[in-house]
Amino acid sequence: MGTLTGKTAVVLGASGEQNIGTAIARGLASEGARVVVSARREEPLRTLAEDIGGLAVACDVTDEAQIENLFETAAQASGKVDIAVFSAGVLAAAPIAELTAEMVRPTLEVSFIGALLFFKHAAAAMPEGGSIITISSLTARIPGPTMGVYAGARAGIDYAIKVAAVEYAGQKVRFNSIAAGLVETDMTGELFAMPGIVEKHLEETPAGRMCTLDDVAEAALFLADEGRSGYINGHLLDLAGGQQMGHLPRF
């Protein structure tokens, strides 16, 4: 029996094979949780749900009605929600001098507005308390060129979890964030193929290796489990091998 047996978890952003949300969903299921996986693309969701014995619910995080439906469906299936993980994101990279409003809005809609509304409806489905986790980024901890939009949205939510932790204290809902270092995923795969990217990051990382999907999944399991992390709230967990103490490479 796993440490999360009897718990229900919702993971938003679990679409794709090499994906942080997918890795977290598999980790939660391995500890006995019933996992509701969600993203915009329905076909890979169904495959994942069948593989882990979970439930697939398509959701576009830019539509609040769909977020509300996601948690209503999860609560109806299991009675309540205990764990919710926000792992959706849009990779935006451009110098501030080249930005337009149209370039900025998609990232804010997903990574900031979408995350806040996710908090709202996740907490509403947790009348007896629970753990809400968001996946942030090393780029929100230390600045790097072209990261103004992406990192700015992540940093905003990293502060918002502190506000949420205070507002939902009476309901015993915990809010925490994981600031992950560069991880090879479906979204970042092209970066890993570029000469020098990994080598330059390793030069700045005391741990001597890159962050992995397993690293992020284990951190999420820790924050999800009340028995392991019940006294941690409003916290940003650095998961970057020490790179957060230095700086991002400049290319």
Residue type, 248: L
CA distance 9 to 4: 9
Question: Which one of 150, 159, 168, 231 is the catalytic residue?
Answer: 150
Cβ atoms of 68 and 87 within 8 Å: the answer is no
Q: Is 231 a catalytic residue?
A: no
Q: What are phi and psi for residue 86, nearest 5 degrees?
A: -100, 110
- Which H or E run contains 179? strand 173-180
Least Cα distance to 137 among 126, 151, 156 occurs for 151
How many angstroms from the chain centroid is the CA of residue 178?
7
**Which are the catalytic amino acids?**
150
